[in-house]
Amino acid sequence: MMKRPLLCALMLAPVLTMTALPAAAASLVKTYSYFPVGGRTLDDIETQLTKHGPRVKSTGMRHPGATQMAFTTRVGYAENANSCRIVAATVTVKVKVILPEWRRPRKADAGVRLFWDTLSSDIKRHEERHVEIAKNHAREIEDALKASYPQKTCQEAKAKAAEIAAAMLAGHDQDQLRFDRVESVNFESRIIRLLRYRIERIENGRLPPT
């Protein structure tokens, strides 16, 4: 039912691509995009994922799924005779989640269908977690900006805001990469565990056969 070459080929997938734009409460604008995957066997599906998956700039490779992100930060300032302080900060995260969609042949093997259902669900879970990480960091950026100390001028306050946002976005990028590394290491064992769990649910009648 499972072929090791396919598992090995997917060990590093899916991954994240990001574009950080410095400059409304942490809000999320999310869209989905799907790319077609054909094939009747696991080898066919592997070939299709390699051929049609989104290309990620950081690796130069195609992957079974990806999430593209852009952060937009808006800051409000209040100035008096001696200082300027941040009085409002909102961060919007715009994300595009790219997922595979299998055009399932009528005569596809039940084992292949089971593996695809398990794999595609895990890809979606992985990408949604990337979105959650981004939104959590957006809230942290807002809080950090609002808690920053007043500056002598609004020009200095703007520079400080840009510095805070840049540092926290760098931390966000590191957290996303760390998540990908952990997921990659655990990929094979996770898929096997999920397959077993899905089979048990089917056998117990708690999940319809694929």
Inside any domain, residue 92:
yes
Inside any domain, residue 76:
yes
Q: Flag whether pLDDT at 126 surpasses 90.
A: yes
Q: Taking a C-beta distance cutoff of 8 angstroms, is the pair 42, 108 a contact? A: no
Inside any domain, residue 18:
yes
Q: Flag whether pLDDT at 29 surpasses 50.
A: yes
Residue in the block written with tokens 């490779």: 61
Inside any domain, residue 208:
no
Q: Quote the number of domains for the chain.
A: 1
Pairing between β-strand 84-102 and β-strand 66-79 as defined by DSSP bridges: antiparallel
**Residues 148-169 pLDDT 10s:** 999 999 999 999 999 999 999 9
Inside any domain, residue 174:
yes
The whole-chain average pLDDT of the chain stands at 83
Of 16-30, 39-53, 68-82, 117-131, minimum mean pLDDT range = 16-30
Task: Count the neighbouring beta carbons within 10 Å of the beta carbon of residue 94.
Answer: 17
Domain that holds residue 25: 4-203
**Residues 37-94 pLDDT 10s:** 988 888 888 888 888 888 877 677 788 899 999 999 999 999 998 999 999 999 999 9
pLDDT for 58 equals 67
Inside any domain, residue 210:
no
pLDDT for 19 equals 36
The whole-angstrom separation of Cα 142 and Cα 91 is: 6
Inside any domain, residue 95:
yes
Binning pLDDT at 50, 70 and 90, where does residue 127 land? very high
pLDDT for 42 equals 85
Per-position b or e across 194-209, b if 16+ CB within 10 A of its CB: bbeebeeeeeeeeeee
Q: Which two tokens stand for residue 94?
A: 């715009």
pLDDT for 78 equals 95
* Higher per-residue pLDDT: 21 or 30: 30
The whole-angstrom separation of Cα 45 and Cα 48 is: 5
Q: Taking a C-beta distance cutoff of 8 angstroms, is the pair 115, 42 a contact? A: yes
To the question of pTM greater than 0.85 for the whole model, the response is no
Binning pLDDT at 50, 70 and 90, where does residue 138 land? very high
Q: Flag whether pLDDT at 21 surpasses 70.
A: no
The whole-angstrom separation of Cα 38 and Cα 112 is: 12
In the chain, the DSSP E strands lie at 17-20, 27-37, 55-56, 61-62, 66-79, 84-102
Q: Flag whether pLDDT at 3 surpasses 70.
A: no
Inside any domain, residue 209:
no
Q: Of 198, 188, 200, which is closest to residue 113 (Cα–Cα)?
A: 198
